[in-house]
Amino acid sequence: MLLGEYEYKVDNKGRLPLPPKFRQEFSNGFVLTRGLEPCIIVYKPEEFKKLADTLSTNQILAKTKTRKLNRFIFGSAFDQALDGQGRIALPPSLRNYAQIKDTVIIVGANKCIELWNPEQWNKERSEAEEQAWQNIESLEGQQ
């Protein structure tokens, strides 16, 4: 599981140090892509493959919404590896999408990590805290 919240600086080349506790998890590389909210999601390769497999079933007959989602996720995805200093190079297109400038909030989100602009993260976290009880109640009937 990927857990916790961390704040790091982005250097002038768009590189971000990955927290040391996550480096082993991503030692075999990772995939960066856009999140549905304005953030960047970092997947381990095997987790990204699971997502790809889920979205690829019956592709020829896929509905318009599935095709658009595929374009959104895979069209903005980048295969990468950590550099020798444990950093991620954030592509400009993803930095622009997530409105990331000089500071990033790194959030462990179970099977992936999310990279957020601090202001956007504060809004998202506040909404999540306000809606947590409603979300838990809606899940109770699904078990």
Asked whether residue 10 is assigned to any structural domain, the reply reads yes
Q: Which residues span the domain enclosing 74?
A: 5-117
pLDDT number for residue 61: 53
Asked whether residue 9 is assigned to any structural domain, the reply reads yes
Asked whether residue 142 is assigned to any structural domain, the reply reads no
| Residue in the structure block whose two tokens are 């480096």 | 23
Which pairs with CB-CB distance under 8 Å and at least 24 residues apart come from 25-32?
26/82, 27/82, 29/79, 29/80, 29/81, 29/82, 30/79, 30/80, 30/81, 30/82, 30/88, 31/77, 31/78, 31/79, 31/80, 32/77, 32/78, 32/80, 32/88, 32/90, 32/91, 32/94
What pLDDT digit, counting tens, does each position of 63-78 carry? 788 888 889 999 999 9
pTM: 0.88
If one counts the domains in the chain, the total is 1
pLDDT number for residue 55: 81
Asked whether residue 139 is assigned to any structural domain, the reply reads no
Could you tell me the CATH number of the domain that includes residue 97?
3.40.1550.20
Asked whether residue 20 is assigned to any structural domain, the reply reads yes
What pLDDT digit, counting tens, does each position of 4-27 carry? 999 999 999 999 999 999 999 999
Instruction: Calculate the alpha carbon distances from 100 to 69, 90, 116, 135 in Å.
Output: 22, 9, 7, 28
Asked whether residue 131 is assigned to any structural domain, the reply reads no
Asked whether residue 125 is assigned to any structural domain, the reply reads no
Asked whether residue 113 is assigned to any structural domain, the reply reads yes
